[in-house]
C-alpha cells in the first residue's frame, strides 16, 4: 500500500484529501506543521508528499529543502498545494525541488488526486506548473 504524507494545516482540506485518498486505498499520514513533517518523514518514508507552503513552525520551503538535501529522501516526489500563486513563489518551489505545484483555488481536489495517482503509478506527467509559467 502506498503511503502519502499530507503536510497541511487547513482542516477542511485535510479531511477532504484524506477521505478521498484512503477511499482509493492509500495510507495517509498527516503533519500539521513543518517540524512534524520532518519528524514523520524520518520515522516512515512516504511514497509521495503533498506539501503546503504556509505552515506553522517551519514553512514548506524549509521542509522541501530538508527533503531534497537528505540522500534518503531526495527522490520522494513532492507536490506543493498552496494558496500562493505568484510566479516567483512557484518558481522558488520548483527550483527547490518540488515536482509539481498546484494553487489550491485553481485546481479541483480530483485533479490533485489524479496527479498523485500518476506519480504513484510511475506515470509522472510533465510538470504542470513549469508549463503554466511558460504561458
Burial of residue 10 (CB within 10 Å: 0-12, 13-18, 19+) is middle
Domain 3-134 has CATH 3.30.390.10: no
For residue 134, what pLDDT band results from cuts at 50, 70 and 90? very low
When mean pLDDT is compared across 7-16, 50-59, 120-129, the lowest value belongs to 120-129
- Predicted TM-score (pTM) of the model is 0.89
Amino acid at each position: 500500500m502506498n503511503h502519502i504524507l499530507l503536510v497541511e494545516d487547513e482542516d477542511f482540506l485535510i479531511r477532504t484529501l484524506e477521505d478521498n485518498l484512503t477511499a482509493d486505498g492509500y495510507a495517509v499520514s498527516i503533519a500539521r506543521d513543518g517540524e512534524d513533517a520532518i519528524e514523520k518523514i524520518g520515522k516512515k518514508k512516504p511514497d509521495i508528499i503533498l506539501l503546503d507552503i504556509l505552515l506553522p513552525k517551519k514553512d514548506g520551503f524549509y521542509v522541501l529543502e530538508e527533503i531534497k538535501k537528505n540522500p534518503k529522501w531526495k527522490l520522494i516526489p513532492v507536490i506543493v498545494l498552496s494558496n500562493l500563486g505568484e510566479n516567483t513563489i512557484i518558481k522558488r518551489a520548483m527550483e527547490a525541488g518540488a515536482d509539481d505545484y498546484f494553487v489550491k483555488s485553481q485546481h479541483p481536489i480530483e485533479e490533485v488526486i489524479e496527479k498523485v495517482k500518476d506519480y504513484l503509478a510511475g506515470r509522472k506527467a510533465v510538470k504542470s506548473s513549469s508549463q503554466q509559467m511558460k504561458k
